[in-house]
Chains A and B, each alone.
Chain A
Amino acid sequence: MDSLDEHDAAVVHRAALECEAIAADLERLKAMIADAGGRLLASFNVVGTLETQAPRGEAEQRRLAGAISNAVTALQFQDMADQLTTHAQLRLATMHESLARIAHGVDPLLATSRLQPVRQTGMGAGSIDLF
């Protein structure tokens, strides 16, 4: 592979720095999600405890049980978001390595394509298969 001219090498170097910056942003995002998730779970625990204590009518009890059920499904967001951001960080790290090699005139590595473990696009409940 022909080595890059000075301009192209500078562009590639800037792209590598961008990868680092994006990865750092993702790390901050993970921390924010973890913080928000922790606060939500703490509040959820309070609601879950109180739910069993106060007497209420049947209709009201059903509504509350339904809301708690929806909350349990939605509160799983932290796990899935964490996996998504970690996967994105891994891809950025691979890209960064490839760009660094290009900038030094070495043949680029093909980005390792680990299958994305999280394909969900929303928080609707997932499928169930019994074998």
Chain B
Amino acid sequence: MQSILAVDDSASMRQMVSFTLKGAGYHVIEAADGQEALEKARAQQVDLVLTDQNMPRMDGLTLVRQLRAMHAFAATPMLILTTESSDDMKAKGKAAGATGWLVKPFDPAKLLDVVKRVIK
């Protein structure tokens, strides 16, 4: 079973993401901010990271940069799921090493389609 690390400081968002991904057969590991996600990523391999951007302690782009610096996560697909929709932020996401940028609210079928396309 493939594992996805889902990161968001909103409990309701984590619940919707987990419901969608688990319903499609993925194992979901949740984290409430980038720092917690980094600690969980260091403890286990995941097949995809899906992270919010604006979070306390560590934001999504910083998390992506930190994970990309780890050999185990150099090629792991990393998607940003955020309310931010500006071209400037998307460019920062790409520069940080993100695989894609999804604007909230997500459609479950579209999220699953993107995950299926990028997960290895």
Contacts and interface: CB of A to CB of B under 8 A. Distances in A.
B103 A76 contact: no
Interface in B6-60: 8, 10, 12-13, 15-16, 19-20, 54
A80 interface: yes
Contacts of A72: 16, 19-20, 108
Contacts, number: 90
Interface of B: 8, 10, 12-13, 15-16, 19-20, 54, 82-86, 90, 93-94, 98-110, 114, 117-118
Contact of A117 (B13, B54, B90, B100): B54
Contacts of B13: 76, 79
A128 B102 contact: yes
Interface residues of A, number: 30
Contact of B107 (A69, A83, A120, A130): A69
Contacts of B101: 128-129, 131
A73 B107 contact: yes
Interface in A44-93: 48, 69, 72-80, 82-83
Given A41-B15, A75-B12, A131 B103 contact: no
Nearest to B111: A128
A123 interface: yes
B105 A41 contact: no
Going nearest first, the 9 A-B pairs with the smallest beta carbon separation are A126-B103, A125-B107, A76-B105, A79-B10, A130-B100, A131-B94, A129-B101, A118-B83, A78-B12
Contacts of B118: 130
A115 interface: yes
Contacts of A131: 93-94, 98-101
